[in-house]
Structure 1
């Protein structure tokens, strides 16, 4: 075996293709090439990369009388080589083929190339299958009528239309963060599918920006997202001295603002999680104030009472705030104003057992200003 070939094979091994795959590929190619010249010959290849040696042996069964010299050897001929041979043994003879021929050589090359390509695809699959449910930096490579193809290293990931944020536009060479949703094998090699709309993307972005989440001091309990428009996340601290909401917001909103920028202005409400559904539902409806929450455990539903001037804020534009709060908490939420709830006999401000949050009278303009705040949960 030439030094150049040995060097090339060792270079492949350094790239991560296992020695067994390399040896199997070359052996299969040589056997196939030999059989192109010698029909159904039974052969074995002995390849040693460390020594740089390669030997090819023909294998013939010992029989009483040979009828096919390619596959059989008579007992008389076998014992002429070694008297210990008996019927049923296999005689191996080293072959030194001088010329495989152009077709055989081309076939051998194709087999080796195909095996190495399959091995490389397998390595890529193994690399990315372990990164499912993770975030990765990518570069927009190309676009077609429907999909966006994002370069993430050794492969192009596919950003399908339903995984693209409505209104976001990209050009080739733009850098974006994407969330790996699944990795599949296909006849063309591994396929990686990514998302910009998955709630997991928001979770991973907070893990990157908030050290307390990354180290587990603060935990994200749930996420409700309408990608490109608004999201809510609930967080809890496992250290009483840490304010989970404040940790996520950061100094002057720096941490959450970085995430908002990455998502091109998507509004994010951060609320504190609670085991008490009353408190949790009230928090989830932020930035609206809540005066009472009545819980129906059997139906897993709640009746939420808010001040009259906060009703539209609690419901949100096209019901978005209430819808996201319901997704975040897992509870059905029915919102009523104080006046309507009182008139229907559902709420009595004098006897209400629960006052979830102190409510201060604010002007309508102030309420609207809070509703358009991009990222913060009002802790007051």
Structure 2
């Protein structure tokens, strides 16, 4: 079954045509048409800008319907904005208070003046929409490369048609690369510097001499720059004459300058070939970027060879000393080399030859010393990085979570229960006035001990036997237990830090020791010592 074709009218055709030619959306053009009709209709009513109106694009009747609206009220105060509820037309429509009463008009009711006003407003709206659309389109392309076709070119500049809209952009002569020329129909690349939204429309500034133009070409021609391995730190450029590009590599195995220059300079020559047909061709110096300002300045002045620097960190001024006869290379043709180096580094650079520096008594730091210090610093940095990497490679130990109510284990022998009965023995300290109180010395009565004299051997043996019985009558086990209890009390009174202790004997071990001692005493024989008995009968003075 054939698909039913949508009916088109002059209004729809007109809107579509404008939308296609101006590269606008259908709804945007339709809104512009309603806006123009409303403005012209208000002028037609000649009642003021506060008129209540409604515009309807009737595609079925192919008419632009315009309605003058009035509010239904009990008492009319302004007949341009209001209508009485008792009006016959209101009653026919059965409208109530606060309802809207409408009077319909069409373009046929317009005079020639009204219609011309409508057409003029509509065209103005379309122009504004074009400007806004153009601004939004190129705002997204700022700092990007776009392609166009040369429409015309003269001494003032070149007109270029770009994009699907065939929008004509103007490239001023000052933004050309040197003395390059173009023919009508030539394909051309330009760099969108910025877009300005001005009252007369969007101002799109394009250039081929901008540093960004060279940056985009380098990204297209050098794969290491495109993929981010090599980074462009800065570009200083005098288009058509010379440019300096400072680069560095994120990969230590990739030489940044070598990647840009290529084998036998093939890569950089491709870049130069895309910088127009000016003669002579623009030269490009690719230098290494350094964080160290001194090394960066030395590198930026290439192809000149700098032997020493006198730097002022506060004013960012530097005197670069070169060998005698090399100042022309360092300065460059018309000063282009030193200007670009200053622009690239951000330092004001003054060039002096070695003899001139000595005559002016200029102190300088030799480049060889700067390089050596930088190498040592880099070596130290690499060591630190290696250390950090090693530390980072050590796996972290996972600690088990300890419960909040966890109690650490302890040895029972080292634990002493707190005895609260000592709290009752606490005596509060107080000061004693030794000057006011006098304590009489108390003489202790001497203890008189009676020493018994044993005259005979029989009496001596009898006394020894009694002492032996007394000792045997007191159990050793009980004595040892009392001693142990005294030791415990002493430890409680004056706690001391834990120290190595002798092993405590068990009950069984103590019993074995006592049995051994008893066995020794039983084996004791007094008859073995009878030969010494005569000594007790003699006078001690006779021994000597």
TM-score (norm 2): 0.56
Which stretches in structure 1 are left out of the alignment for 5+ residues? 357-380
Distance 1:66 1:2, change over 3 A: farther
Cα distance between partner residues in 1 of 2:28 and 2:343 = 50
Cα distance between partner residues in 1 of 2:268 and 2:209 = 17
**Counterpart secondary structure, 1:149:** strand
Quick check: which has more Rg, 1 or 2? 2
Distance 1:311 1:68, change over 3 A: closer
Aligned position for 1:99: 108
Assess if the C-alpha contact under 8 Å between 2:90 and 2:101 holds in 1.
no
Aligned position for 1:364: none
Assess if the C-alpha contact under 8 Å between 1:223 and 1:328 holds in 2.
yes
CA displacement, residues 144-192 of structure 1 (integer Å, 9 cap, x when unaligned): 5533322223322222343234433333333332222232344553332
Match among 33, 38, 47 for residue 26 of structure 1: 33
Say whether residues 1:178 and 2:190 are aligned partners. yes
Assess if the C-alpha contact under 8 Å between 1:293 and 1:354 holds in 2.
no
User: Which one has the bigger helix percentage?
Assistant: 2
Structure 1 stretch displaced more, 345-354 or 74-83: 345-354
Assess if the C-alpha contact under 8 Å between 1:150 and 1:159 holds in 2.
yes
Assess if the C-alpha contact under 8 Å between 1:157 and 1:191 holds in 2.
no
Match among 306, 311, 334 for residue 318 of structure 1: 334
Aligned position for 2:436: none
Shift of 1:110: 3.7
Structure 1 stretch displaced more, 295-304 or 234-243: 295-304
Match among 152, 156, 160 for residue 172 of structure 2: 160
Match among 81, 91, 111 for residue 80 of structure 1: 91
Assess if the C-alpha contact under 8 Å between 1:42 and 1:71 holds in 2.
yes
Structure 1 stretch displaced more, 54-63 or 124-133: 54-63
User: How much is the aligned-residue C-alpha RMSD, in angstroms?
Assistant: 3.6
Distance 1:161 1:92, change over 3 A: same
Aligned position for 1:366: none
Cα distance between partner residues in 2 of 1:285 and 1:51 = 77
**Number of aligned residue pairs:** 354
Shift of 1:274: 0.3
User: Which one has the bigger strand percentage?
Assistant: 1
Distance 1:291 1:158, change over 3 A: same
Cα distance between partner residues in 1 of 2:332 and 2:270 = 25
Aligned position for 2:55: 45
Cα distance between partner residues in 2 of 1:60 and 1:204 = 62
The 5 Å alignment of 1:213-252 reads 213-252=225-264
Match among 264, 267, 271 for residue 259 of structure 1: 271
Aligned position for 1:119: 129
Structure 1 stretch displaced more, 216-225 or 294-303: 294-303
Distance 1:342 1:167, change over 3 A: same
Aligned position for 1:285: 301
**Counterpart secondary structure, 1:308:** coil
Cα distance between partner residues in 2 of 1:351 and 1:52 = 84
Aligned position for 1:207: 219
Aligned position for 1:198: 210
Distance 1:31 1:312, change over 3 A: closer
Assess if the C-alpha contact under 8 Å between 1:278 and 1:294 holds in 2.
no
CA displacement, residues 178-237 of structure 1 (integer Å, 9 cap, x when unaligned): 222232344553332222322222222212222322332222112222221111111111
Structure 1 stretch displaced more, 275-284 or 149-158: 149-158
**Counterpart secondary structure, 1:275:** coil
Aligned position for 1:371: none
Higher relative contact order (CA 8 A, sep 6+): 1
TM-score (norm 1): 0.78
Cα distance between partner residues in 2 of 1:61 and 1:260 = 74
CA displacement, residues 20-54 of structure 1 (integer Å, 9 cap, x when unaligned): 53332232344355557655474312348899997
Aligned position for 1:372: none
Aligned position for 1:3: 8
Say whether residues 1:148 and 2:164 are aligned partners. no
Aligned position for 1:297: 313
